[in-house]
Amino acid sequence: MTLRVFVLLLAVVLATGLTGCSKEGSQVDKPDSPALRRELLQMRDADQAERTGRATWTEASDRARTERLREIIDEYSWPTPDMVGKDAPARRG
């Protein structure tokens, strides 16, 4: 998978609510992995700041976020709303 495709995938994941398989009918108030939630939200905020011009985009920072997302997926599988909360995409910094 190329870096560009992976970054696009990251943007889609973060924009759609960090979705994946979750418990049927689950109403997540407290995510199972609050530290992971914070990290993903920080990654999303940094990515969006760079892509909208509020921060300077660098290939190195983009590559670091991409690599970290790969590590997260390897460790946790795909982050689900039960893990990181369903309201993550609605949060604004």
On whether the pTM is more than 0.75, the answer is no
pLDDT of residue 35: 93
The neighbour count for residue 87, using CB atoms within 10 Å, is: 14
Dmax (CA) for the chain in angstroms is 41
Look at residue 31 in the predicted model and tell me its pLDDT.
84
- Digit-by-digit pLDDT tens for the chain (93 residues) are 566 656 656 665 655 555 444 444 444 468 888 999 999 999 999 999 999 999 999 999 999 999 999 999 999 888 888 888 876 544 444
- 55 Rama class: left (phi>0) / alpha (psi -120 to 50) / beta: beta
Would you state the pLDDT for residue 82?
A: 86
What local confidence, expressed as pLDDT, does residue 85 receive?
Answer: 85
